[in-house]
């Protein structure tokens, strides 16, 4: 038997105008977690798509157990026991968990599905690997973490031996990430081999055995994790030393910019309020972070704050002006910019070009219009400036369709657009979601620069590391309420975690069992 | 610009394959005559000045209904109600001409307004109650047609019917068609400006220039103005439009209003030529549905609409020469094949861009919304169900 279960040798894959993979060699050993590290657009997903049969490489060969194989489509990959969890899950929303797992390989008798047999196997697998799922739940009703477990069970159900995880942690809460890491370790004990695509260095250090680094379509090298450091990996990935810690001076808060009083937002899902009586202020020159586990009302609060949704009670004052009932456009004019949580739903018009998206919030301003006409030259100039300043990479520059850009560069475009609006208040919701270290460093530096130039920043984040390193003040939200306010220098991550899970509350007594309520309700 | 070229290429390929299919059909039906008749069909439109006039005459209203559908497509709406808007526009123009004795330009304005009015309802229902515009606009097709029939048969002056009068026509029976404009109000005829003499045809007037002017106007609105930018943004991602502070509801209504106005004007143009009269209809007028074909073939580009309408009109005129050896309906089949193929424009475009190695990996659909081929088939089938066959206003 060969030492390697999968060998991808000298793979080259071209797209119009770009070499996505340039002579890349990757070897996967039996029973190892092999991380594939690279910035957005470095060619990680392309390489994995080649392995999974979604793309055909122009050059290079793939070997399984030392024998050359041809993978023309995902069915071939499946036959070779290669399974993949995609970054965006491929699940049928209105099917049950069980239906999704057996989809495509339904056990049947004379054409009738034999679900009992399938259920037995699924339950057995989920017990064996600690993948808790409810086989009869609808996909649309379960949390993102559980959806991912369904994807993993799909691979296991098909007896896959080589498991590809494409940025699996991008959508998970810290606790879910820990669970996933444990599950991956269990798999390798069983002799399964894992390819783990990510750009989060902590996770690689925690779980991987070896790591192959890609940069701009080229293979930079493969290293053993035990012989390397985070700094070395990030340097390999970005091509220069990266500042992993956020550098910033003491905040010098000035006048109050945003004043939120007793804001209550009704929930769309149940009769309770999603946001309950939230009050706080953000001053110029400070970054206030709204922290919390996903689904505790942050999204609804931001919707109400930015005007995407209505609130039932309370008031919002921006720069001394009451904007409680103002339209979105008027809020923008009053000095609010907004990096939305969901870049595809709100942040971008995917059918538009990059330059058209870069002026989405200011095409109506006098600099970009003469009468009813858009000043296309100005738009182009402006777009080119932002592309340079914020290092937005794309195939065709300003005229690249937004749809064809990588997720990280789409996010960079939104960040560039919103920060450059120079609004007094910047509402940034998970601005670094799905970004690589280089880009995260860039966004964080921009947020701090924004603060230092006298703007107020409200950051909503699920990443504790980001919360601790970027913010000047932390507000923890739990079940729609603010349960605590902290100075990041005087609080520990563990302490914050207790508040985020509802075990502690600064303003009132916590009843029994509060601690384990939080997450389960959301799941 | 490269992408534009690829779109054009994709449409041209669809047309060539469609024609080839038509030729094949001719060969199968009657081999001996196939080649000469096919050649005749292809050249008929430019064989003589009157034929060319006919092509232009038919193309003008087709451009308008094509623009109606294309504009709505670009802004993420499917205006299947062009037929109703066209009919209502035609009625408004004729009523202004016959009853109120207005000059042609006021009649056309009335047609525009009436069509726009007919577009308001699907737009409002969509914006306020999120009712699918396809359903409402289909219903408004029938409401429009029936209402126009009803009005034509009931408008009286001094106790006499005037839209469908006995008085204007010799004989006793009530006619089923509106009074001839050249008798009722020659001022309402669209001016010919000597074009009729130039091309030696009574069909010829300046309507083709009006249609082209509107095509250019819509292109400018869509690609050069902030208003067009807003419409397209809301069309392809409503949530992003709202996030950017655009009034999405207002834009949906405006979009349907403009689409309706274009179709309505088409109706006015056709009937104010004076060569056809509105007849009491039992089924929806085909001109509105042909607009869907025109828009699809033009990949919803307003400028492209001019050329695709000219082409469809050209091949329809050519089709008349196939008679009596072949049925004229072969042309409908050829057009249908072309439309099917252009519905796969996305596919064709991707293949072309791969072959010549330009453009992006994921070529974008030119329609405001990417429409899966199956759905398009359904839409086309629907258009056909409403009968491409029936003639629209009898020619004199």
Domain spans of chain B, in order of start = 2-25+45-385
CB atoms under 10 Å from CB of B145, counted, come to 23
Q: Which residue of B has its CA nearest to A370?
A: B225
**Residues on chain B touching A340 (C-beta within 8 angstroms):** 243
Q: What is the rounded average pLDDT of the residues B33-44?
A: 88
Span A99-120, pLDDT tens digits: 999 988 888 888 888 888 889 9
Tell me which DSSP letter residue B146 carries: H
> How far A27 CA sits from the closest chain B CA (Å)?
28
Pick the closest to residue B154 from B167, B163, B145 (CA basis): B163
Binned at pLDDT 50, 70 and 90, residue B388 comes out as very low
Binned at pLDDT 50, 70 and 90, residue B166 comes out as low
B104-113, B172-181, B352-361: lowest mean pLDDT where?
Answer: B352-361
CA–CA gap between residue B205 and residue B53 (Å, rounded): 9
3-state SS, residue A370: strand
Q: What is the pLDDT of residue B372?
A: 37
Pick the closest to residue B222 from A415, A24, B214, A391 (CA basis): B214
Give me the CATH code for the A4-238 domain, please. 3.40.50.300
Mean pLDDT of chain A: 87
**Would the CB atoms of A374 and B233 count as touching at under 8 Å?**
no
Residue A385 clears pLDDT 60, i.e. is over it: yes
**Would the CB atoms of B362 and A346 count as touching at under 8 Å?**
no
Long-range contacts of A52-56 (CB under 8 A, 24+ apart): A52/A77, A52/A82, A52/A84, A52/A164, A53/A77, A55/A13
**Would the CB atoms of A349 and B240 count as touching at under 8 Å?**
yes
Phi-psi category of residue B76: left, alpha or beta, with phi > 0 → left and psi -120 to 50 → alpha: left
CA–CA gap between residue B52 and residue A336 (Å, rounded): 59
The CATH topology of domain B2-25+45-385 is ABC transporter involved in vitamin B12 uptake, BtuC (1.10.3470)
Q: What is the rounded average pLDDT of the residues A389-394?
A: 86
**Residues on chain B touching A369 (C-beta within 8 angstroms):** 226
Instruction: Please report the ipTM that was assigned to this predicted complex.
Output: 0.78
Binned at pLDDT 50, 70 and 90, residue B352 comes out as low
Q: Which of B75, B218, B229 to mutate to test the interface with A (most CBs of A within 10 A)?
A: B229
Span A271-318, pLDDT tens digits: 788 899 999 999 999 999 999 877 788 989 999 999 998 899 999 999
Q: What is the pLDDT of residue A466?
A: 86
Pick the closest to residue A376 from B320, B229, B257 (CA basis): B229
Domain boundary assignment for chain A = 4-238, 245-335+424-523, 352-422
A11-25, B239-253, B323-337, B364-378: lowest mean pLDDT where?
Answer: B364-378
**Would the CB atoms of A403 and B364 count as touching at under 8 Å?**
yes
**Would the CB atoms of B233 and A349 count as touching at under 8 Å?**
yes
- Using the Cα atoms of residue B127, residue B129, residue B130 and residue B136 in order, give the sign of their dihedral: negative
**Would the CB atoms of B362 and A372 count as touching at under 8 Å?**
no
CA–CA gap between residue B333 and residue B321 (Å, rounded): 16
Q: Which residue of A has its CA nearest to B369?
A: A351
Q: Which of A16, A333, A362, A418 to mutate to test the interface with B (most CBs of B within 10 A)?
A: A16
> How far A316 CA sits from the closest chain B CA (Å)?
18
Binned at pLDDT 50, 70 and 90, residue A482 comes out as very high
**Would the CB atoms of B360 and A404 count as touching at under 8 Å?**
yes
**Would the CB atoms of B240 and A372 count as touching at under 8 Å?**
no
The CATH topology of domain A245-335+424-523 is Rossmann fold (3.40.50)
Binned at pLDDT 50, 70 and 90, residue A173 comes out as low
CA–CA gap between residue B255 and residue B233 (Å, rounded): 12
Residues of B with a Cβ under 8 Å from any A Cβ are 224-227, 229, 232-233, 236-237, 239-246, 353-354, 357-362, 364, 368
Between the two ends of chain B, the Cα-to-Cα distance in Å is: 45
**Would the CB atoms of A16 and B362 count as touching at under 8 Å?**
no
Q: Which residue of A has its CA nearest to B354?
A: A16
DSSP string, A72-125: -SHHHHHHTTEEEE-SS----TTSBHHHHHHTTS--EETTEE-HHHHHHHHHHH
Instruction: Give phi and psi for B326, each to the nearest 5.
Output: -120, 160
Q: From the centroid of its chain, how far is CA B165?
A: 29
Q: Could you tell me how many residues make up chain A?
A: 523
CB neighbour list of residue A511: distance below 8 Å, 6 or more residues apart: none
* Topology alike, domains A4-238 and A245-335+424-523: yes
> How far B25 CA sits from the closest chain A CA (Å)?
38
Map A60-80 to HEC letters: EEEEECCEEECCCCHHHHHHC
């Amino acid at each position: 038997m060969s030492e390697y279960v999968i060998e991808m040798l000298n793979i080259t894959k071209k797209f119009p105008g770009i070499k996505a993979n340039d002579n890349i060699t990757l070897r996967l050993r039996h029973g190892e977690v092999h991380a594939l590290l690279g910035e957005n657009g470095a060619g990680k997903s392309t390489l994995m798509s080649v392995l999974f049969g979604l793309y055909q490489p122009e050059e290079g060969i793939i070997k399984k157990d030392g024998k050359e194989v041809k993978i023309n489509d995902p069915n071939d990959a499946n036959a070779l026991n290669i399974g993949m969890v995609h970054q965006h899950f491929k699940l049928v929303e209105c099917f049950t968990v069980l239906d999704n797992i057996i989809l495509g390989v339904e056990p049947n008798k004379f054409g009738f599905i034999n679900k009992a047999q399938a259920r037995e196997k699924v339950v057995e697998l989920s017990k064996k690997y600690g993948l808790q799922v409810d086989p009869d739940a609808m996909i649309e009703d379960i949390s993102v973490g559980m959806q991912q477990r369904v994807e993993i069970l799909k691979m296991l159900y098909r007896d896959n031996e080589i498991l590809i995880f494409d940025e699996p942690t991008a959508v998970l809460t810290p606790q879910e990430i820990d669970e996933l890491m444990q599950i991956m370790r269990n798999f390798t004990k069983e002799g399964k081999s894992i390819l783990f695509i990510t750009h989060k260095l902590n996770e690689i250090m925690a779980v991987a055995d070896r790591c192959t680094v890609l940069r701009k379509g080229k293979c930079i090298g493969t290293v053993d994790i035990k012989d390397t450091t985070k700094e070395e990996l990030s340097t390999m990935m970005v091509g220069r030393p990266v500042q992993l810690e956020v550098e910033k001076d003491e905040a010098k808060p000035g006048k109050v910019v945003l004043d939120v009083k007793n804001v209550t937002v009704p929930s769309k899902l149940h009769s309770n309020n999603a946001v309950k009586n939230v009050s706080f202020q953000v001053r110029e020159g400070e970054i206030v972070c709204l922290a919390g586990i996903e689904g505790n009302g942050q999204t609804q609060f931001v919707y109400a704050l930015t005007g995407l949704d209505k609130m039932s009670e309370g008031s919002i004052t921006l720069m001394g002006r009451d904007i409680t009932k103002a339209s979105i456009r008027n809020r923008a004019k009053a000095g609010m910019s907004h990096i939305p949580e969901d870049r595809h739903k709100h942040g971008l018009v995917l059918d538009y070009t990059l330059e058209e998206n870069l002026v989405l919030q200011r095409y109506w301003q006098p600099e970009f219009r003469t009468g009813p006409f858009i000043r296309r030259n100005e738009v182009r100039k402006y777009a080119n400036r932002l592309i340079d300043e914020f290092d937005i990479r794309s195939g065709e520059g300003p005229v690249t369709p937004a749809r064809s850009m990588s997720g990280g560069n789409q996010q960079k475009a939104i960040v560039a657009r919103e920060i450059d609006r120079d609004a007094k208040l910047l509402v940034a919701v998970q601005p670094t979601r799905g970004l690589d270290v280089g880009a995260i460093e860039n966004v964080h530096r921009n947020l701090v620069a924004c603060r230092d130039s006298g703007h107020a920043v409200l950051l909503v984040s699920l990443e504790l590391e980001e919360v601790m390193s970027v913010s000047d003040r932390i507000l923890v939200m739990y079940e729609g309420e603010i349960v605590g306010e902290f100075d990041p220098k005087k609080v520990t991550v563990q302490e914050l975690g207790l508040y985020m899970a509802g075990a502690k509350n600064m303003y009132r007594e916590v009843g029994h069992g509060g601690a384990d309520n939080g997450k389960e309700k959301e799941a | 610009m490269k992408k534009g070229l690829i779109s054009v290429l994709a449409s041209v390929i669809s047309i060539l394959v469609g024609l080839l299919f038509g030729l094949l059909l001719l060969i199968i039906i009657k081999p001996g005559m196939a080649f000469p008749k096919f050649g005749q069909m292809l050249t008929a439109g430019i064989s003589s000045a009157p034929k060319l006039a006919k092509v232009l005459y038919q193309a003008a209203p087709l451009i308008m209904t094509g623009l109606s559908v294309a504009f709505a497509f670009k802004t993420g709406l499917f205006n299947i109600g062009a037929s109703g808007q066209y009919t209502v526009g035609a009625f408004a123009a004729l009523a202004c001409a016959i009853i109120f004795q207005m000059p042609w330009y006021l009649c056309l304005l009335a047609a525009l307004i009436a069509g726009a009015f007919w577009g308001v309802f699907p737009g409002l229902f969509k914006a306020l109650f999120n009712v699918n515009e396809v359903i409402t606009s289909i219903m408004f097709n029938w409401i429009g047609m029936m209402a126009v029939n009803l009005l034509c048969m009931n408008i009286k002056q001094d106790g006499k019917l005037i839209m469908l009068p006995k008085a204007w026509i010799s004989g006793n029976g009530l006619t089923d068609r509106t009074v001839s404009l050249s008798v009722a109000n020659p001022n309402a005829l669209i001016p010919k400006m000597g074009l009729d003499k130039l091309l030696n045809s009574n069909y010829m007037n300046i309507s083709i220039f009006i249609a082209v002017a509107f095509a250019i106007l819509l292109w400018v609105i869509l690609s050069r103005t902030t208003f067009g930018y807003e419409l397209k943004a809301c069309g392809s991602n409503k949530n992003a439009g709202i996030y950017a502070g655009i009034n999405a509801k207002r834009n949906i209504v405006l979009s349907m209003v403009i689409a309706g106005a274009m179709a309505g004007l088409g109706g006015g143009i056709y009937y104010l030529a004076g060569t056809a009269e509105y007849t009491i209809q039992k089924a929806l007028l085909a001109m509105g549905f042909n607009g869907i074909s025109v828009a699809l073939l033009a990949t919803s580009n307003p400028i492209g609409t001019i050329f695709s309408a000219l082409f469809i009109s050209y091949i329809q005129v050519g089709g008349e020469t196939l008679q009596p050896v072949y049925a004229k309906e072969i042309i409908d089949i050829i057009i249908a094949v072309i439309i099917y193929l252009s519905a796969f424009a996305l596919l064709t475009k991707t293949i072309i861009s791969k072959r010549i190695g330009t453009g992006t990996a994921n070529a974008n659909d030119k329609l405001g919304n990417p429409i899966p081929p199956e759905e398009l088939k359904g839409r086309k089938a629907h258009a056909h169900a409403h009968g491409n066959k029936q003639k629209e206003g009898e020619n004199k």
